[in-house]
Amino acid sequence: MFKDLPLSKVYQLLEPGPVVLVTTARKGRANVMTMSWHMMVEFEPPLIACVMSSANYSFAALRATKQCVIAIPAVKLAPKVAAVGNCSGRDVDKFEKFGLTPVPAEHVAPPLVAECFANLECKVADAGFVNRYNLFVLEVLKAWRDPRQTKPRTIHHHGYGRFVVDGKEMRLKSRMR
């Protein structure tokens, strides 16, 4: 169902700032959260920095297991993405509650999310900034793309439930990668 995405292309998914889901797994139980504080740090192998509140149930799981999956939803999932952000894995199985389908990953224990158009299997590459900023540096080990979701439009969070959806595409002459 998912196809390989070359690691060299991962930055093209995250650099535009989409709202993402993050899955973790601990003691045999998977969880999923919503996240917007992330950025690329290196092209290849792709390094991603992300900041996760230590109040989040996922924070402890990521810190302990050093593995997660970043799953990128298109706009049709927006209501579920917001709902995932409104509750905690402490209280509820969010996969079941919101009808998200966990799919086994290849290199990590946390699951891919079947409904997302891209999934990035990650390990924590550097936890040296966690104490100070709740900032994890992740390395993407494997990237997957759903070829059936062509031209997915992502969503961007502007605070307090206001989201902006991808609009028109522009091409400009660029020497930048």
Please tell me the distance from the alpha carbon of residue 5 to that of residue 44, in angstroms, as a whole number. Answer: 13
Q: Count of CB atoms within 10 A of residue 74's CB? A: 21
Contacts of 144 (CB under 8 A, 6+ apart): 2, 3, 4, 5, 112, 118, 119, 120, 121
Task: Pick from 54, 92, 129, 147 the residue near its own copies by CB under 8 A.
Answer: 129
CB of 139 to its own copies, least distance (A): 12
CB of 133 to its own copies, least distance (A): 5
CB of 165 to its own copies, least distance (A): 5
Span near its own copies by CB under 8 A; candidates 48-56, 65-73, 94-102, 109-117: 48-56
Closest CA to 22 of 3, 4, 48: 48
What φ, ψ does residue 97 adopt, rounded to 5°? -60, -40
For residue 99, state whether it binds its own copies (rule: CB under 8 A). no
Closest CA to 21 of 147, 125, 155: 155
Q: Binding mask 57-96 vs its own copies (x if CB under 8 A, - otherwise)?
A: ------------------x--xx--x--xx----------
CB of 40 to its own copies, least distance (A): 5
Which lies closer to its own copies via its Cβ, residue 1 or residue 55?
55
The CA angle 155-160-166, to the nearest 5 degrees, is 15
Q: Count of CB atoms within 10 A of residue 159's CB? A: 7
Task: Pick from 7, 37, 59, 114 the residue near its own copies by CB under 8 A.
Answer: 37
* Site for its own copies, rule CB under 8 A: 9, 11-12, 15-18, 34, 36-42, 47, 49-51, 75, 78-79, 82, 85-86, 126, 129, 132-133, 135, 137, 153, 155-177
